[in-house]
């Protein structure tokens, strides 16, 4: 033996990539996409105040970011009216999910999620040797009752529940979510991924109860705040759980300009409101485009919309390929029956103009 | 039991913080530092081209970064004249060290490093349950012979060797480093941390041999390129090892503006040359200041200098505290006999003016 000795677990892992990036597809195409609507990004972008803050921070990037994320945590605490000690800031929800799984999941531990839910969470669970147990969606909704029942059945350490959901964009209301939290069995932790919650109507998120040890809630600057490329997410939970992140997190992992940008983005709630309105208008237009093509869009509480292409996953995949060919980057759900849909971001008018023009052609090509 | 069930390993970990950040100290002081010279940051900052690129990228931060880091890897491959497949880009060397340790280290696995070497590496090793085995410095130098001997003795999975060294700033020449690589025992991997190597004279780094499975070398944009707060590091190694990072890394973890900035920083080798000259001049000046105070600076191949305060660690700590009190942020080595020193960054003339004025006062106060 000459090379390094991987752990048996890591040696057994496939070299999975949770998502292929649009840049990879662009390189393969030899051409940039005309509309970038596939990655659940917020095409309306960040607040001008956030942009200005990141520009101001650029010359000072020689300094490491504050490892305590103090200013941002204080601002988030004030914004949510909760103590800062109940907040952990990290390099996007993805990184925080990785830390969380690492803290709780050992080989053969059970983790419950919905079949077809967020692949990056699954990537982390498998990466630490956890055993994923899935329950199907109920229609186009995550099924919280089934999640809890399965968690009790398999003695799950973690239960993943995204509300609003990705990839379908549906949501449960706050009363249902609170009932899920209340039903979490002893020894389980509910991972409530609220990445898209700012786009949802009031009454989607129950109030924070930071004393509750049975749930950790994740929020992000990647979606409503339009800063996916900055990598700023946060978790809200009980003090013991939140402070445990300090045992494993990359203390100096935050980009300094991103910290500054997030702080200003949070302060500009007026811009956030405008974004939410822009996104709502774009969702309506996508729904109208679907209808004009004889199809139905799933009602969405997020900044993306799943369009039911009216047939199976094979057909939707053809539609997707035909859109990609026309320079429209979209994605689709991974598993049936949700994979009858394509999923696209609530784009700017110019993005949706392109989609509107390409969609009938893509459908016609797929039907051939 | 009501709360989440941590893994036994994570439950056993202390809530260690590898370093207290300067911002934390500033909040405690109620005042910003006048000179920020403690965190091995490059006070000369990034290339104006890198700054401009990060500013240009700010409005597009709504897009995730390219998960393949394709452009940066291609540029690094060209720069080092090695294939891109031998390069992994990540969120700073810190994150890459974390991924590497995760891939190789299980509870009770042995890892060899120098007593007093980089704490963040140790943080990761302990965090994955590895057993750290240390060898002392030889004088103010890491002792590569002792590292290899100890690795053979304990059957180490990883051997950490920083060249140039942190915290002392000393270096071994390329022939010695190559001899270390050649001596790595079967089943061990040498982690050659070259974070500071651009500051060292020619003849410090042996040529890359990307076929060699016994070594992974880490470089960064945090030091010579002046972008610590951007979080961009990279590793160079054999293809099998490099591709294994894809099993565990945070694929969408890179800040998009940081990717753009690093690309321009790399392209501006003229600016890098200027920085290296600025740093060399600052090192000379620190050495002269030490001498003017009757003390000796350790000859440094990095952008920081350790000044031997002439007594023990208790005394050096007093000097450090007296400097901090005067608004000069510096740090010091953790273990004797290196902790007889304080360590400060090669600052700008205005930073070193402040240090020059404060140092005699701090020494006098410490001697009282």
Residues A125, A194: one domain?
Answer: yes
Q: Kindly state the average pLDDT of the residues B239-268.
A: 97
Flag if A229 and B7 touch (Cβ within 8 Å): no
Residues B191, B92: one domain?
Answer: yes
- Comparing alpha-carbon positions, the chain B residue that sits nearest to A214 is B3
pLDDT in tens, chain A (368 residues): 568 999 999 999 998 777 889 999 999 999 999 999 999 999 999 999 999 999 999 999 999 999 999 999 999 999 999 999 999 999 999 999 999 999 999 999 999 999 999 999 999 999 999 999 999 999 999 999 999 999 999 999 999 999 999 999 999 999 999 999 999 999 999 999 999 999 999 999 999 999 999 999 999 999 999 999 999 999 999 999 999 999 999 999 999 999 999 999 999 999 999 999 999 999 999 999 999 999 999 999 999 999 999 999 999 999 999 999 999 999 999 999 999 999 999 999 999 999 999 999 999 999 99
Q: Where a domain ends, among A268, A287, A316?
A: A268
Residues B167, B103: one domain?
Answer: yes
Comparing C-alpha atoms, which of A102, A34, A53 is closest to residue A347? A34
Q: Kindly state the average pLDDT of the residues B201-223.
A: 97
Q: Over the stretch B49-76, which tens digit does the pLDDT of each residue have?
A: 999 999 999 999 999 999 999 999 999 9
Measure CB to CB from residue A68 to each of B24, B42, B46 and give the nearest one.
B24
| Residue B7 placed within a domain | no
Q: What is the CATH number of the domain that holds A54?
A: 3.40.640.10
Flag if B7 and A42 touch (Cβ within 8 Å): no
Strands (E), A201-290: 215-220, 233-236
Copy the structure tokens of residue B306. 């350790």
Residues A135, A150: one domain?
Answer: yes
Rounded CA gap, A120 and A19, in Å?
Answer: 8
Residues of A in contact with B19 (CB under 8 A): 67, 251-252
d(CA B87, nearest CA chain A) in Å: 16
Please tell me chain B's helix, strand, coil percentages from 3-state DSSP, rounded to the nearest 5.
Answer: 45, 15, 40
Structurally, how many domains does chain A consist of? 2
Residues B276, B341: one domain?
Answer: yes
Rounded CA gap, B109 and B184, in Å?
Answer: 17
Q: Where a domain ends, among B267, B295, B319?
A: B267
pLDDT confidence of residue B17: 77
Cα dihedral angle (A116, A121, A123, A125), rounded to 10 degrees? -110
Residues B292, B192: one domain?
Answer: no
Domain of B99?
48-267
Residues B205, B339: one domain?
Answer: no
Q: Where a domain ends, among A222, A237, A268?
A: A268
Rounded CA gap, B36 and A221, in Å?
Answer: 29
**Which residues are CB-neighbours of B139 under 8 A, at least 6 positions away?**
none
Residues B65, B25: one domain?
Answer: no
Q: Kindly state the average pLDDT of the residues B317-323.
A: 98
**Which residues are CB-neighbours of A43 under 8 A, at least 6 positions away?**
A36, A37, A345, A346, A347, A348, A351, B62
Measure CB to CB from residue A127 to each of B187, B241, B247 and give the nearest one.
B247
Q: What phi-psi label fits residue A60: left (phi over 0), alpha (psi between -120 and 50 degrees) or beta?
A: alpha
Q: Cβ distance A23 to B70 under 8 Å?
A: yes
pLDDT confidence of residue B18: 77
Measure CB to CB from residue A70 to each of B4, B27, B50 and give the nearest one.
B27
* H runs (alpha helix) in B110-250: 119-127, 144-154, 174-183, 239-244
On average, the pLDDT of chain B sits at 97
Q: What is the CATH number of the domain that holds A279?
A: 3.90.1150.10
d(CA A114, nearest CA chain B) in Å: 20
Residues B154, B251: one domain?
Answer: yes
- Comparing alpha-carbon positions, the chain A residue that sits nearest to B71 is A23
What distance lies between CA B22 and its chain's CA centroid?
A: 16
pLDDT confidence of residue B340: 98
Cα–Cα–Cα angle for B225, A60, A76, nearest 5°?
A: 125
Residues B221, B305: one domain?
Answer: no
| Residue A2 placed within a domain | no
Residues A324, A201: one domain?
Answer: no
Residues of B in contact with A39 (CB under 8 A): 63-64
pLDDT confidence of residue B1: 52
Q: What is the band of B3 on the pLDDT scale with cuts at 50, 70, 90? A: confident
Copy the structure tokens of residue A218. 């994740």
Residues A243, A304: one domain?
Answer: no
On average, the pLDDT of chain A sits at 97
pLDDT confidence of residue B16: 76
What DSSP string describes A8-36?
A: HHHHHS----S---HHHHHHHHTS--SEE
Q: Kindly state the average pLDDT of the residues B191-209.
A: 97
pLDDT confidence of residue B110: 98
Rounded CA gap, B200 and B280, in Å?
Answer: 9
Rounded CA gap, A291 and A310, in Å?
Answer: 12
| Residue A319 placed within a domain | yes
Q: Over the stretch B124-168, which tens digit does the pLDDT of each residue have?
A: 999 999 999 999 999 999 999 999 999 999 999 999 999 999 999
| Residue B72 placed within a domain | yes
Residue with the larger pLDDT of the pair A101 and B3: A101
| Residue A79 placed within a domain | yes
Q: Which of B17, B20, B47, B58 to mutate to test the interface with A (most CBs of A within 10 A)?
A: B58
pTM of the predicted model over 0.80: yes
């Amino acid at each position: 033996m000459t090379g390094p000795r991987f752990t048996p677990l890591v040696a057994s892992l496939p070299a999975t990539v949770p998502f292929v990036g649009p840049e990879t597809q662009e390189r393969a195409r030899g051409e940039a996409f005309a509309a970038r609507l596939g990655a659940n990004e917020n095409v309306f972008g960040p607040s001008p105040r956030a942009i200005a803050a990141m520009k101001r921070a650029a010359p000072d990037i020689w300094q490491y970011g504050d490892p305590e994320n103090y200013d941002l945590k204080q601002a988030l605490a004030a914004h949510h009216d909760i103590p800062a000690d109940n907040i952990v800031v990290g390099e996007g929800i993805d990184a925080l999910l990785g830390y969380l799984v690492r803290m709780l999941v050992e080989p053969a531990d059970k983790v419950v999620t919905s079949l077809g839910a967020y692949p990056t969470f699954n990537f982390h669970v498998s990466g630490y040797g956890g055993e994923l147990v899935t329950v199907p969606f109920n229609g186009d909704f995550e099924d919280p009752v089934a999640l809890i029942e399965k968690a009790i059945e398999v003695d799950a350490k973690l239960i993943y529940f995204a509300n609003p959901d990705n990839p379908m964009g549906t949501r449960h209301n706050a009363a249902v979510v609170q009932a899920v939290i209340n039903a979490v069995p002893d020894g389980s932790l509910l991972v409530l991924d609220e990445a898209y919650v700012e786009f949802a109507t009031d009454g989607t998120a129950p109030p924070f109860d930071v004393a509750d040890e049975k749930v950790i809630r994740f929020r992000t600057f990647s979606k409503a705040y339009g800063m996916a490329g900055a990598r700023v997410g946060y978790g809200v939970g009980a003090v013991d759980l939140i402070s445990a992140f300090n045992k494993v997190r990359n203390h100096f992992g935050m980009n300094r300009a991103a910290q500054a940008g997030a702080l200003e983005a949070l302060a500009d709630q007026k811009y956030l409101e405008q974004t939410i309105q822009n996104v709502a208008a774009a969702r309506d237009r996508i729904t109208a485009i679907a209808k004009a093509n004889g199809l139905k869009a799933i009602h969405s509480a997020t900044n993306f919309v799943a369009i039911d292409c009216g047939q199976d996953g094979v057909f939707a995949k053809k539609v997707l390929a035909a859109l990609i060919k026309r320079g429209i980057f979209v994605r689709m759900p991974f598993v049936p029956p949700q994979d009858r849909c394509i999923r696209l971001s609530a784009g700017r008018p110019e993005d949706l103009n392109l989609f509107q023009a390409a969609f009938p052609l893509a459908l016609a090509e797929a039907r051939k």
